[in-house]
Amino acid sequence: MTVQEFWDYLIPGIALGALYAVIAIGYTMVYGVLQLINFAHSEVFMVGGFAVLMVFTKIDFNDPSVGMSVLLVLLGFATAGFAGAGTAFALEKVAYRPLRKRNAPRLAFLISAIGASFLLSNLAGKLFGRNNHSLTIPFENKKVFTVMNAQVTVLQVLIVCSAVIMMIGLDLLVNRTKMGAGIRAVAQDAETAGLMGVDIDKVISRTFIVGGLLGGIAGFLFAMNSSVGYTMGFFPGITAFAAAVVGGIGNVRGAMLGGLLLGLVESFSSPLFGEEWRYVSAFVVLILVLMFRPTGILGERLGRTA
Amino acid sequence: MSTIETPEVNGLTQPAAAKPPVTPLLELHEMHVYYGAIQALKGINVTVGEGEIVTLLGANGAGKTTTLRTISGLLSPRSGEVRLNGERIDGIPPHHVVALGIGQSPEGRRVFPRMTVLENLQMGAYRFKSVPKAELERVYELFPRLHERRSQQAGTLSGGEQQMLAIGRALMGRPRVLLLDEPSMGLAPLIVAQIFSIIKEINAQGTTVLLVEQNAAQALKLSDRAYVLETGSVMMSGTAGELLADPRVREAYLGEGAGA
């Protein structure tokens, strides 16, 4: 790999990693409060893409002005965030809460998660067709600046900036607010959190809403970079899940770190090993990390503390 | 004042028939609790008067923790009632029970290990809009050690400190009744004495205490009254003095050999 290639692949790697990080937060937060891998989170991500597609096809924009572009991007965020949050909220109510109320075994949750994932994905395929739809980017995706001769586009800047803002916001929410304290308490010991006056059902709902909001917005950003389709959630979803595990499942900062790491690994694997290794690399890293540090990079525990 | 419990003559008589020593604040009436098909509590009657310290004694598996968990709403009785100030509270979810003024320091302390001492105390006041300063000061006065360690992760505290934190955290919710589940468990005798004297002080400041203990001798010295649970039923009850003098209690719970 030449020095130029390094820079050429670094920038898309960072953008991809930022997206994986944002998606991974949704997996890790839900795992924190429910000890459940929400496999349908990839479809929350997909819903974000489709929601913006629906809105954008209704609006006729050709060569929008700068002000118009900003408005459209904000509209995209709002639409995707709302759709993602709503889907995640409904998902918890329909697919997980009834099982929780019946004290169902762990396996039932997992099956329900996979079932919900297939259902949502194929429902989108039925409604929107099984081909890919391209999402019109509401701005001219030109080069903004170059880093060591490597181009950085408007979309890449948008992805990285919005991901950073979301991650900072989320970190503050979890660590500095009362709502965040409730989420952390439920994650550490749900029953005792209840004894402190925390409404566990409410905390779980809010966790899904926050994770869904981030996942939906990530879907919108991802769709501008590639396209919208009923299977678009699968690969980013499974990679972000791997990122959450690499970082230490249940640990929000770990998910951010894991996402960035896997985005970079994926991007660099194509010049280093060839394009065909692109989708293998992230999972090689997952296996290597788990071999040497089963709790993930920032993970502290696997079981519950007494 | 109170007597060794007279068995309920007739379930249909007025529940107020048994005369409690002071105004009853917390009452368990004919409470039956099950874990699936297994019956853990077989119709127990317990009364805790305003301002009292009442202890539940009993061996492992007697149903002491189950009793506290049911009061806090973590379990629902299959039949019978839990009453606070005369109002039924059974079947209410735990976060509402706390808001009614029942705080619990659970078995095994259960502090939030990856939160600081201060954050744990703040969690105890979760039901309030903002953390009440007076409560925090009171807890720090009772447990100066918690003030010293306020920015330390709770998981790194010693067992005694974690117990202090668990009690302090429960006090942060400004409970009228404080439920303490085996606060002496696994602690050195010196720490146990310290914790028990603080429990006495908390009670003197006006908080009613329902204590679960295996450490019968020390618990009885501290209590006004006590109940002895055996396999889910109340076998005996009376003032602490009466139970301390009872040969069966002395033999089974105070570690005195069957001398006779």
Angle among Cα B23, B29, B30 to the nearest 5 degrees reads: 155
- B74/A contact by beta carbon, under 8 A: yes
| Residues ≥6 apart with Cβ < 8 Å to A153 | A141, A142, A143, A144
Name the residue among A275, A279, A242, A276 with its Cα closest to residue A258: A242
ipTM reported for the complex, 2 dp: 0.89
Contact between residue B134 and residue B180 where contact means Cβ atoms under 8 Å apart: no
Q: Say yes or no for a CB contact (<8 Å) between B126 and A178.
A: yes
For residue B9, the distance in angstroms to the closest alpha carbon of chain A comes to 36
Contact between residue A20 and residue A260 where contact means Cβ atoms under 8 Å apart: yes
- Whether residue A30 is contained in a domain is answered as yes
Mean pLDDT of A260-279: 93
β-pair partners for B46 = B28
Eight-class DSSP state of B116: B
Which residues of chain A are within 8 Å of residue B126 when distances are taken between CB atoms? 178, 181-182, 185, 196-198
Locate the chain B residue with the closest alpha carbon to A304: B113
Using pLDDT thresholds of 50, 70 and 90, give the confidence band for residue B180: very high
Mean pLDDT of B30-56: 96
Chain pair A-B, CB pairs under 8 angstroms: 67
What CA–CA distance (Å, rounded) separates B107 from B122? 20
Neighbours of A94 (CB within 10 A): 12
Nearest beta carbon to residue A192 from set B110, B114, B122: B110
Long-range contacts of residues B248-254, Cβ cutoff 8 Å, at least 24 apart = B249/B57, B249/B216, B253/B57, B253/B216, B253/B228, B254/B216, B254/B217
Please give the C-alpha separations between residue B102 and each of A287, B55, B99, B106, in angstroms, as whole numbers: 48, 16, 7, 12
**Please, how many CA atoms are within 13 Å of residue A227, restricted to the half-sphere of its CB?**
8
- Whether residue A300 is contained in a domain is answered as no
CATH number at residue A107: 1.10.3470
Mean pLDDT of A21-48: 96
What CA–CA distance (Å, rounded) separates A106 from A99? 9
Mean pLDDT of B9-15: 40
- B186/A contact by beta carbon, under 8 A: no
Please give the C-alpha separations between residue B251 and each of A93, A153, B184, B216, B222, in angstroms, as whole numbers: 54, 82, 21, 11, 19
For residue A171, the distance in angstroms to the closest alpha carbon of chain B comes to 15
Does B1 score more than 60 pLDDT?
A: no
Numbered residues of chain A with Cβ closer than 8 Å to any chain B Cβ: 178, 181-182, 184-185, 188-189, 191-200, 300, 305-306
The pLDDT value given to residue B255: 75
Mean pLDDT of B12-33: 70
Does B258 score more than 70 pLDDT?
A: no
Mean pLDDT of A45-63: 93
Tally the domains of chain A. Answer: 1
Contact between residue B89 and residue B83 where contact means Cβ atoms under 8 Å apart: yes
For residue A149, the distance in angstroms to the closest alpha carbon of chain B comes to 45
pLDDT tens digit string along A67-93? 999 999 999 999 999 999 999 999 999
Q: Which domain holds residue A178?
A: 3-292
| Residues ≥6 apart with Cβ < 8 Å to A96 | A34, A36, A38, A109, A112, A113
Percent of chain A at pLDDT above 70? 98
CATH class entry, domain B21-95+210-253? alpha beta
For tokens 């990856």, the residue is B114
Does A303 score more than 70 pLDDT?
A: no
Alpha-helical (H) ranges within A35-153 are 41-58, 66-91, 97-101, 106-128
What is the rounded average pLDDT for all residues in chain B? Answer: 90
pLDDT tens digit string along A89-145? 999 999 999 999 999 999 999 999 999 999 999 999 999 999 999 999 999 888 988
For residue A186, the distance in angstroms to the closest alpha carbon of chain B comes to 9
How many residues in chain B?
260
Instruction: Classify residue A97 as exposed, middle or buried by CB count within 10 Å of its CB (0-12, 13-18, 19+).
Output: middle
> Domain-by-domain residue ranges, chain B?
21-95+210-253
For residue B72, report the phi and psi dihedrals to the nearest 5 degrees.
Answer: -75, -5
Neighbours of A200 (CB within 10 A): 19
A-facing residues of B in 149-168 (CB < 8 A) are 155
The pLDDT value given to residue B22: 63
Locate the chain A residue with the closest alpha carbon to B95: A197
Interface test with A, best of B126, B131, B135, B180 (most A CBs within 10 A): B126
Which residues of chain B are within 8 Å of residue A300 when distances are taken between CB atoms? 114
- B119/A contact by beta carbon, under 8 A: yes
Which residues of chain B are within 8 Å of residue A200 when distances are taken between CB atoms? 95
Q: Say yes or no for a CB contact (<8 Å) between A178 and B124.
A: no
What CA–CA distance (Å, rounded) separates A227 from A235? 13
- B122/A contact by beta carbon, under 8 A: yes
Q: Say yes or no for a CB contact (<8 Å) between A184 and B127.
A: no
The residue type of A282 is A
What CA–CA distance (Å, rounded) separates B137 from A136? 59
For residue B127, the distance in angstroms to the closest alpha carbon of chain A comes to 5
Nearest beta carbon to residue A196 from set B74, B114, B123: B123
- B95/A contact by beta carbon, under 8 A: yes
The pLDDT value given to residue A28: 96
- Whether residue A304 is contained in a domain is answered as no
pLDDT tens digit string along A147-187? 888 999 999 999 999 999 999 999 999 999 999 999 999 99
Q: Say yes or no for a CB contact (<8 Å) between A199 and B115.
A: no
Does B17 score more than 60 pLDDT?
A: no
For tokens 């368990």, the residue is B28
- Whether residue A302 is contained in a domain is answered as no
**Please, how many CA atoms are within 13 Å of residue A19, restricted to the half-sphere of its CB?**
33
- B78/A contact by beta carbon, under 8 A: no
Percent of chain A at pLDDT above 90? 88
Name the residue among A117, A124, A102 with its Cα closest to residue A37: A117
- B104/A contact by beta carbon, under 8 A: yes
Using pLDDT thresholds of 50, 70 and 90, give the confidence band for residue B21: low
Does B98 score more than 80 pLDDT?
A: yes
What CA–CA distance (Å, rounded) separates A20 from A241? 9
Name the residue among B133, B189, B203, B199 with its Cα closest to residue B166: B199
Which conformational region is residue A78 in: left (phi greater than 0), alpha (psi within -120 to 50 degrees), or beta? alpha
